[in-house]
Amino acid sequence: MVQNFERAKLRKMKGTMVKLLLFTLLGITLAAPVHPSTAKIYVWRNEKGVLVFSDSPRPGAEEVKTKPGNVIQSSTSIDTEVLDITPQEIAEQYEIAINTPKNNATIRDNTGSIYIAGGIKPRFKAGLEVQLILDGKPHQKPQKHSMFSLRDIDRGEHKIKMLLLDEKGKVIASSTSVTFYMHRASTN
């Protein structure tokens, strides 16, 4: 019985020593200063053109090179003279193309119906509209997608083109012109 008591006391003492050792290691780790050469700063522009600084890298970010010995201690000691922090608007370059019908295609439909499909790069975003130009004139109103279904198109040669419009109605992309030939049975 005395031996069991001694063993329990020894186990308790070991547990206390392990806890003390862990707390000591945690304290040393937290108290150790971070060496400035290990800290890295990354910079990139967000979708609004504003510079973003972070200690976490991300695709497209560049590492900011600092001089040896430079230590950033607070926001009041940062030398921003070398940084270009003016917001810059990054204009997206859109492309629009007519995928259907192909250039010089012959459409055989006695009702004069044709399906027109376009593609936009990069992705179509809210606020953009597509205007179809048929034989040099706007066809109906601009719409929020690039698929058109036309009815009662006359026989003969026709040219189509798509214009991509921004929120203000300004043309930001234009497709190349596509020629198609509508074949319909004569009504005579």
94-125 tens-digit pLDDT: 899 999 999 999 999 999 999 999 998 887 77
Q: What is the mean pLDDT of residues 70-85?
A: 58
Q: What is the DSSP string of 134-166?
A: ETTEEEEEEESSSEEEE-SPPSEEEEEEEEEE-
Integer Cα distance of 29 and 6 in angstroms: 35
Rounded CA-CA distance 130/148 in Å is 10
CA distances to 2, 69, 133 from 55, rounded to whole Å, are 59, 18, 50
**Which are the contacts of 144, defined by CB distance < 8 A and separation ≥ 6?**
128, 129, 130
Asked if the model's pLDDT at residue 142 lies above 90, the reply is yes
pLDDT for 128 beyond 80: yes
Q: Please, which residues have CB within 8 angstroms of residue 88's CB and are 6 or more apart in sequence?
A: 45, 49
In which band, very low, low, confident or very high, does the pLDDT at 14 lie, cut at 50, 70 and 90?
Answer: confident
Q: Which CATH class is domain 95-183?
A: mainly beta
Asked if residue 187 has pLDDT above 70, the reply is no
Neighbours of 150 (CB within 10 A): 18
Q: Region 22-46: what's the mean pLDDT?
A: 69
Question: In Å, how far are 3, 10, 12, 15, 19 from 7, measured between CA atoms?
Answer: 6, 5, 9, 12, 18
Note if the pTM is more than 0.75.
Answer: no
Q: Is residue 105 within 8 Å of 180, Cβ to Cβ?
A: yes
Query: Is it the case that residue 148 has pLDDT exceeding 90?
Result: yes
Q: What pLDDT, on a 0 to 100 scale, did the predictor assign at position 91?
A: 64
The answer for 6, left when phi > 0, alpha when psi is -120 to 50, beta otherwise, is: alpha
Instruction: Give the bridge partners for 100, in sequence order.
Output: 117
